Structure 1
Amino acid sequence: MSRRIEFTAQGGPEVLSLVSRPVPEPGEGEVRVRNHAIGLNFIDTYQRSGLYPVASLPSGLGSEGAGVVEAVGPGVTTFQPGDRVAYGTGPLGAYAEHHVLPVAHLVRLPDGIGFEQAAAIMLKGLTVQYLFRQTHVLQAGDTVLFHAAAGGVGLLACQWARALGVRLIGTAGGPDKVARALAAGAWAGIDYDREDVVARVHALTEGRKCPVVYDGVGAATWATSLDCVAPRGLLVSFGNASGPVTGVNLGILAQKGSLYVTRPTLGTYASTPERLQAMADELFGLVQQGAITVEIGQRFALADAAEAHRALAGRGTVGSTVLLP
């Protein structure tokens, strides 16, 4: 038998239950991974709550983990039992001791990267990779704004920006979190609980504002983000931590300076096994070089997934969080 987290109705953390099921068998083109560590991400709370509907109920949860290939299905030739692997792009069901997934979602895990490290950074690190290296290719000397810079994605973004020579202005709630962003590599920090973000961005950029603003917060920061984008600049809206952005008036983009807006997803950028592995290789390379340090702020047992969700939603976490089966 294999333990996993399931939910039969969408709602709050209380809908998550630990159940035992037969160990799943991989089908055509699939592998079974025995998880050693599982990643926790905000998107998990969206899928649990119903903001992002799931295909059917009951459903598993989670799309990120790392472990060892235990079995392969027919037609799988690129991986074999015993291989160390990681994944961050689904399908749902990673909150489990065993996870069966299509081979196209797996990447090889270098010996120098631990299972907890990989589970903590796959989704977040690949997100930063496409934001900084594909959605807009950042260059040394660029000045960008990144909201929630002390979160799991944000702390990786601060480090990656420093490695690229990019001046990242990070927002965070409270002096402690601002200090964390600065320690991770942010060029400047803004405490959005106490400071006017737009005014500070104007001051820091001498009125030029930022050619790119990265907003994973959503509804609460949308208007602020628009006011921080330089004319003909780009607003990258990549998350909904405070709720989805709705009712967008395209005329605002003209009024603010002929702005561009994109709503990217990791799946679009990591759309083939080759692209996914190349993105992961760049991420793992930065970790191995010491340019990125993986901070795991919290560890929860798999059975305590609901408690982990409450901590995440309540802004009670720092860095990355992993579940241990």
Structure 2
Amino acid sequence: MPDQIVLLDAPGDVTQFRLQDQPLQAPGAGEIKIRHQAIGTNFLDIYHRKGLYALPSYPAVIGVEAAGVVEEVGGDVTGFSPGDRIAYGGPPAGAYSSTRIMPAERAIRLPDTVSAKAAASSLLKGMTAYMLLKKGCNVGDGSTVLIHAAAGGLGSILVRWAKSLGATVIGTVGSSEKAALAASYGADHLIVGRGADIVAEVKRLTDGNGVDVAYDGIGGDMLVKSIRAVRPFGTAITIGQAAGPIPPVAVEELRPGKSLSHPSIMAWCADVGRYRKAAEAAISAMERGIVCEIAAEYGLADVAKAHEEMETGRSAGSILLLP
């Protein structure tokens, strides 16, 4: 079978995807050619597909993390050889393909203890967790954190990593089945059900104080609830809008002294030095067992099904594309 690539003809629904044979390419100076073994999917891919985050031109190739093997190296590349196992995450998009040409400086060598599937499912989420836990707010022993969708891809890594730092974790989940998963990841307390009074439950669990930091990838009207669940001079961090756009937030919600942050892992990783530090921290975490569970695997031809499953929110874990 020839190599394949998934093109996005225009922003929109999954009917905008088109699978075609991938032209042969050779790496230039400073570049490597990677044969993908596993491609990670993220809600960011849905935002790219829908046009919420614009791409430079169309047709476009989306996808921001993958793992595989170096197939060929270009001129001036000294750090890699054909056969080396690598992974990458972050900008620019372009991972939905059998092979990819990219700058060698974006490739991160994989240790033997981390599989390609584990890396493709966990690298970008691990880098995001590192940014959120150590840069957005320095979580450590004695911290209390609120993590929404605690059984999901990013949520599961945040729970495990926060617990490894000594934090008390309050998680939210949509069902008892997901509650059992989040508990197995180490969550100390779980708020179950979409209709739960999250603010009241957090206040009950924290003796009325609120959490030090809340991580909200839900969006919609959840952000205001997250802010209200934070203690005075605590921080609410918005990292996505899986439930829909976030309405305007009144500045009065930040009293007394609360902070609201909206970091971007893509912007963070645009700097190569920051990117490599975050990626190495994520891989080190993977070696300690801080990984995302793999919920499903699809071939490139079934990319539409993968996106549809991601959008339902039913999957507890990461969905992979396998070339």
TM range (shorter): over 0.9
Q: Is contact 1:60–1:92 with CA below 8 Å preserved after alignment?
A: yes
- 1:286 matched to which residue of 2? 285
Q: Normalised by the size of structure 1, how large is the TM-score?
A: 0.94
* Distance (whole Å) between structure 1 residues aligned to residue 174 and residue 22 of structure 2: 41
* Distance (whole Å) between structure 2 residues aligned to residue 311 and residue 268 of structure 1: 27
Secondary structure at the counterpart of residue 32 of structure 1 = strand
Sequence identity percentage: 38
User: Does 2:251 align with 1:266?
Assistant: no
Q: How does 1:37-186 map to 2 (within 5 A)?
A: 37-186=38-187
| Count of paired positions | 322
- 1:308 matched to which residue of 2? 306
Secondary structure at the counterpart of residue 138 of structure 1 = coil
1:271 is displaced (CA, Å) by: 4.3
1:69 is displaced (CA, Å) by: 1.2
- 1:249 matched to which residue of 2? 250
Q: Is contact 2:34–2:71 with CA below 8 Å preserved after alignment?
A: yes
Q: Is contact 1:90–1:105 with CA below 8 Å preserved after alignment?
A: no
What letter matches 2:203 in structure 1?
H
- 1:33 matched to which residue of 2? 34
Deviations 1:223-250 (A, max 9, x none): 1111111111111111121223242333
Distance 1:83 1:62, change over 3 A: same
1:192 is displaced (CA, Å) by: 3.6
Q: Which runs of 5+ in 2 are unaligned?
A: none
Q: Normalised by the size of structure 2, how large is the TM-score?
A: 0.95
1:181 is displaced (CA, Å) by: 1.0
User: Does 2:11 align with 1:13?
Assistant: no
What letter matches 2:298 in structure 1?
F
Deviations 1:80-134 (A, max 9, x none): 3222110111322211100112223221111111100100001111111111122
- 1:201 matched to which residue of 2? 202
Q: Is contact 1:122–1:280 with CA below 8 Å preserved after alignment?
A: yes
Secondary structure at the counterpart of residue 160 of structure 1 = helix
Q: Is contact 1:161–1:185 with CA below 8 Å preserved after alignment?
A: no
Q: Is contact 2:39–2:120 with CA below 8 Å preserved after alignment?
A: yes
What letter matches 1:55 in structure 2?
P
Q: Is contact 1:108–1:277 with CA below 8 Å preserved after alignment?
A: no
Deviations 1:35-82 (A, max 9, x none): 000001111011001111111000111011000111223333332322
What letter matches 2:59 in structure 1?
P
* Distance (whole Å) between structure 1 residues aligned to residue 210 and residue 193 of structure 2: 17
Deviations 1:130-189 (A, max 9, x none): 111221111112111111111100011111112111111111111111221111111111
* Distance (whole Å) between structure 2 residues aligned to residue 53 and residue 220 of structure 1: 24
Secondary structure at the counterpart of residue 280 of structure 2 = helix
* Distance (whole Å) between structure 2 residues aligned to residue 9 and residue 324 of structure 1: 23
Secondary structure at the counterpart of residue 36 of structure 2 = strand
Q: Which runs of 5+ in 1 are unaligned?
A: none
What letter matches 2:311 in structure 1?
A
- 2:226 matched to which residue of 1? 225
* Distance (whole Å) between structure 2 residues aligned to residue 294 and residue 261 of structure 1: 27
1:15 is displaced (CA, Å) by: 1.3
Secondary structure at the counterpart of residue 198 of structure 1 = helix
- 2:296 matched to which residue of 1? 298
- 1:277 matched to which residue of 2? 276
Secondary structure at the counterpart of residue 138 of structure 2 = coil
1:27 is displaced (CA, Å) by: 2.9
